[in-house]
Amino acid sequence: MHQSRLRGAPTGTNTSEKRMARFAQQKVLVTGAGSGIGRATALAFVKEGAYVIAVDLGKASLKETAQLITAKGGECETHVADVSDQVAMTALAKKVHAKHGALDVLVNNAGIGASGRFLETSIETWDKVHAVNVRGVMLGCKLFLPAMVERGHGHVVNTASMAGYFSAPDLPIYAASKYAVLGFSEALRMDMKSKGIGVSAICPGIVNTNIVATTVSEGEAAKWQSGAVAFYKKRNYGPEKVADAILKAVQHNRAVVPVSPEAWAGYYLKRFMPGLARTLASNPLPFMK
């Protein structure tokens, strides 16, 4: 049993009560909590008894998340911050530590999408995506891990993607950023093991969130972005399933967690049939034809 699960856990024999209080009295910080996977994760932790510190760049979306949490009888606080901004994140860490001390769970979830063949993508888009998807994860860990290590237990969740091991020619920027998150998470997990800190990389597949609609699409990819949005909606694999996988990853200290059938299929194909994986990845999805 992972240490972070123990803090505040009830001692009674009621199985339902134990399950519902898995994260009772724990402080959980979630970035990108204003929508999608981040919002679903914040709500899932609150349901399990946690106090959530919700972080996002959008003030209005954060307010909506907070309203949903309080409507369910949960507790939270919100902070507007750009995860790629060292000054802003340092200030956030100081506020959080002054009020709460070390976090029990850190969920580095904030991210942005990008699509387009390599020669059609701009350097500005590379910089923008990596600032949020990679630097944002690094800063979260750099600023919140020391207090967790000093206390001797906790868990870090980094949202990677199926694209972190099963890339496609139309996703060079996004795949590069998510490969980086996955590799960083695996290295960090080995580093933190002796310090009582668990690290999990979550790798969602096709999940119905607004990331596709807000993806920076360049070149030919811009022509099928609307089709991608419709495809994801029709697929209708909700972010709540990713949130559930995140809670289980923390509870059981899992290392790499694909989420959705296609994410698991890609994971095993890449490991055991890499040639077939490359062939499948190079074929366009229906909305790209």
The catalytic residue positions are 174
Calculate the CA 68 to chain-centre distance: 20
Give the bridge partners for 203, in sequence order: 258
Local structure of 117: helix, strand or coil: coil
Burial 79-112 (b: 16+ CB within 10 A, else e): bbbbbbbeebbeebbeebeeeeebbbbbbbbbbb
Residues 16, 135: Cα–Cα separation, whole Å: 39
Give CA angle at 19 (17, 21), nearest 5°: 70
Assign 79 to helix, strand or coil: strand
* Phi, psi angle pair for 198, to nearest 5°: -90, 150
Beta bridge partners of 201: 158, 256
Instruction: Give the whole-angstrom CA distance, residue 104 versus residue 262.
Output: 31
What is the distance between the alpha carbons of residues 275 and 277, in angstroms, rounded to a whole number? 5
Q: Report the distance separating Cα 209 and Cα 41, nearest Å.
A: 13
How many of the other CB atoms lie within 10 Å of CB of 270?
18
The Cα–Cα gap between 256 and 157 comes to 10
Find, among 171, 166, 168, the residue nearest to 260 by Cα.
Answer: 166
Residue appearing with tokens 């959008």: 58
